[in-house]
Structure 1
Amino acid sequence: MLSSPGGPMERQRNTRLEALLTEFDFSHTSLAKEVNKVTGEIFGKAGDCTDRHVRRWISGEVRWPWTKYLLPLERIFDRPAQGLGFVPRGKHSANLPTPPQLRSPAPKEVEPVQRRRFIAASAATVVLALGIDQTPVRGRLSMSDIDRVHERIGRLDAHFFEIGGGPLAETATAYVGRLRDAQDSCTYGGRVEKALHGAISSLYASAGWAAHDGGEPARAALLHTASLQSALLAADPSATARAWSNLALQARMEGRHREAVQITKAALESRRARQDPRIAALLHARLAIGQARTADRSGAARSLLAAEKAYDRVDAAGPAPTWLGFLSPAELSGLAAITYEALGQYDRAEAATTQALRLLPPSMRRSHAYYSVQLAELQLTQRDRAQAAATVQALDASSLDSRRIAGRLAAVQRTLTT
């Protein structure tokens, strides 16, 4: 029988919330647990949400949950209730109260709303959001399990490119621990064994970058060394080239520029670097920086040209691995700018940095902030304080979590105020 016009509203599935569960890798049960955890943070008392609540929200049976559920959901997904696909019962119900701990007598003390839940998240929360705790630690592992591991590693890397290190070093090392448990407790064949070592190498490399971004150079060095060890156990040429590249960068950051040049040259001799133009382009660009800092001007120029030539062959190389997702014409321009700066060619460095910023896609917010700070530093070096101030003013770093970038930005701001 058809319902009358005044009858109950037809149930409509909340596809928006359903898509968010997929995006953040939540099951009904894990989201309910997260809601209860955040409820405790907001109200001082753990919630009573269950997987049944989540099912009713998604099915459309409940179109506007109680406030005690909506406030945690808004914080978890960092968007308003209606942005989660919920429909208010009336015009007044849409006006949710301010969560207790966010009320403040001095508005200036309230922290700005984070654009991404990842930014303020603890490592444990990030582990839950990515579904890292779902990686099996018993039974038999297959290549499908490894594919899912790499998918999660790719998501970790994507978050780094977007917001910086944040909790990712802890998250990646926690995931390493999970995979170590799988190595010890699961059964698998030789192919899966090597793939596991390769995944662990990737995680160590990601953790090393996050530690470097978080201002922990000693920890970063240990993680990059561990990445190389696992890459060798995996017999993975790409992972090995990545590890050597990161170790060369680590040496450069510690002021050991000749060692950095030697490591990079050795990496360029590998079969993988000869076969993969992306890796070759990255290594040549980083080699140019090392050569510039060891006063090898002609070598630096040759390496920059070699990086351009290698990148010209990228289109025929197929899709890039996720860890090389940052490598683009914009990144090569930025690396060239660092080379020019080391050579004392500040005008060329400024022009190359400006080009990098122009070419960067909006999603690469960390890179945009990094090269914006670099541009302001170059402008100050050339005594263009007004332009440096304008560059800093245009930079929005509020949604980033990178101590390294924040420290450099603070130094620029101090210089501008003295």
Structure 2
Amino acid sequence: MDRQRNAILEVLLDEYDYTHRSLADEVNQVAETIFGRRGDCSDRHVRRWISGEVRWPWTRYLLPLERIFERPPEAIGFIPRGAASANLPRPPEPEHQEEDPMRRRRFITASAATTVTAVLGIDQTPARGRLSMSDVGRVHERIGRLDAHFFAIGGGPLVGVATGYIDRLRTALDGCTYGDRVERALHGAISSLYATAGWACHDSGDPGQAALLHTASLQSALLAGDASATARAWSNLALQARLEGRHREAVQITRAALDNRRARQNPHIAALLHARLAIGQARTTDRTGAARSLLAAEQAYDRADTTAAPTWLEFLTPAELSGLAAIAHQALGHYERAEQSTVQALALLPDPMRRSRAYYAVQLAELQTARGEHERAAETVARIDASTLDSRRISDRLATVRRTLTAQEPRP
């Protein structure tokens, strides 16, 4: 019979980040838990399985492989020699034997899970077993849903959710087995969660904690060796410096992020960094530099049509770029242009981004108030629906605008 390569097993090795040698070692370790003695599998056995030279391995190898990949031999790409061979003999289970962690993963269940945690499903994270790139994919999917939740309601309730998820992923890093690629990807996921938690702290009015979280995000990004995550962390640290009034430092940090060639070559990242650099330059009265950076942001975003955005940058739409440009124009004292850009941002914003809509609506009211357009500002404020948001940052700014408008009302 013609030899047929076991492509399924090849894919599983890649997904679970195994080499031939590391899979053989894993088979031997699991064999010891099943049969009471360590196995004799070698990388040569694995090569023969993949090449199709051996289409149905011996039971002492098949049973460990079943547990490692959590599927029957046929689903690993093996072909039985006959009907009898498919019925694998099972070793007797000792009385009261504790369930082997390689056979069934234990899951962490939060003792007091919040509604958000339950809805997003992030309270189920493997604590034992072999982690694969599929597991990492599920982690990133949940992080994406967590970020979408932030843009919908603000960051108030999400600080504990994000930091709780970080704790669970760290437990997985300590208790599970995985390859180098999975390890780096998990550090990248943790960096992303730190960034989300940092933004949530900004929304909750806790800048000190936000700074710590953004620094931790940078550390995890460096461990991941991920240029995109590193650029995100630097960008957030620059924003932190700007919010604390350290505008020259914010410019220096953003320029350092742009010095990374891989970050510059990603048009989405470059667009965000140039837009934030423009704001920093505007705050340091570098008018020429701010104008150049705004143009560079537009040019970078024009190139972005042909490339996919990193998940964390899905918020960077033409609306967001218009909103960032408005902040730069406001810092330069160009209130009319700032108002026009803010109106454009509100017109372009997708409906699900309720937090961004409230943020830029407050920004529009602030600009109208600064220009003495109190009636228009009052109309803008009346249209703001912040009842479903949990963002102290937005609510405080909205309250300030309302107090200003109230003070301008004629007294009877």
Q: Is TM more than 0.5 here?
A: yes
Does structure 2 retain, via aligned residues, the 8 Å contact 1:123–1:168?
A: no
1:219 aligns with 2:209: yes
Equivalent residue number for residue 268 of structure 2: 278
CA deviation vs aligned residue, 1:87-146 (integer Å, no higher than 9, x gap):
xxxxxxxxxxxxxxxxxxxxxxxxxxxxxxxxxxx8622222222121101111111111
Does structure 1 retain, via aligned residues, the 8 Å contact 2:191–2:220?
A: yes
SS at match of 1:134: coil
CA deviation vs aligned residue, 1:236-276 (integer Å, no higher than 9, x gap):
11100100000000000000000000000010111222221
CA deviation vs aligned residue, 1:279-318 (integer Å, no higher than 9, x gap):
0000000000000000100000000000000000011112
Equivalent residue number for residue 159 of structure 2: 169
1:207 aligns with 2:197: yes
Does structure 1 retain, via aligned residues, the 8 Å contact 2:113–2:123?
A: no
One of 236, 256, 259 as aligned partner of 2:246: 256
Q: Counterpart of 1:234 in structure 2: which amino acid?
A: A
One of 126, 147, 160 as aligned partner of 1:157: 147
- What displacement does 1:381 show? 0.3
Q: Counterpart of 2:384 in structure 1: which amino acid?
A: L
Equivalent residue number for residue 87 of structure 2: none
One of 371, 374, 384 as aligned partner of 1:395: 384
1:324 aligns with 2:298: no
One of 169, 179, 188 as aligned partner of 1:189: 179
Equivalent residue number for residue 326 of structure 2: 337
SS at match of 1:140: coil
Equivalent residue number for residue 373 of structure 2: 384
Q: Counterpart of 1:255 in structure 2: which amino acid?
A: G
Q: Counterpart of 1:242 in structure 2: which amino acid?
A: R
Q: Counterpart of 1:219 in structure 2: which amino acid?
A: Q
One of 403, 406, 412 as aligned partner of 1:414: 403
Q: Superposition pairs for residues 120-131 of structure 1, below 5 Å?
A: 124-131=114-121
- What displacement does 1:149 show? 0.4
Cα distance in 2 for partners of 1:365, 1:126 equals 17
Gaps of 5+ in 1: 1-121
Equivalent residue number for residue 370 of structure 1: 359
Q: Counterpart of 2:397 in structure 1: which amino acid?
A: R
Q: CA RMSD in A?
A: 1.0
Q: Counterpart of 1:213 in structure 2: which amino acid?
A: D
Does structure 1 retain, via aligned residues, the 8 Å contact 2:323–2:345?
A: yes
Cα distance in 1 for partners of 2:146, 2:258 equals 27
Cα distance in 2 for partners of 1:270, 1:406 equals 36
- What displacement does 1:179 show? 0.4
Equivalent residue number for residue 25 of structure 1: none
Q: Counterpart of 1:245 in structure 2: which amino acid?
A: S
Gaps of 5+ in 2: 1-111, 408-412
Equivalent residue number for residue 133 of structure 1: 123
Cα distance in 2 for partners of 1:417, 1:138 equals 59
Identity of aligned residues (%): 75
Q: Counterpart of 1:370 in structure 2: which amino acid?
A: Y
Cα distance in 2 for partners of 1:270, 1:293 equals 24
CA deviation vs aligned residue, 1:367-386 (integer Å, no higher than 9, x gap):
11000000000000011100
Equivalent residue number for residue 132 of structure 2: 142
SS at match of 1:141: coil
- What displacement does 1:166 show? 2.1
Cα distance in 2 for partners of 1:357, 1:131 equals 32
Does structure 2 retain, via aligned residues, the 8 Å contact 1:278–1:314?
A: yes
CA deviation vs aligned residue, 1:348-373 (integer Å, no higher than 9, x gap):
11111111111111111111100000
Equivalent residue number for residue 24 of structure 1: none
The TM-score, its normalising length taken from structure 2, stands at 0.71
1:294 aligns with 2:280: no
Does structure 2 retain, via aligned residues, the 8 Å contact 1:288–1:300?
A: yes
Which of structures 1 and 2 has the bigger CA Rg?
Answer: 2
**How many residues get paired?**
296
CA deviation vs aligned residue, 1:44-77 (integer Å, no higher than 9, x gap):
xxxxxxxxxxxxxxxxxxxxxxxxxxxxxxxxxx
- What displacement does 1:162 show? 1.1
SS at match of 2:315: coil
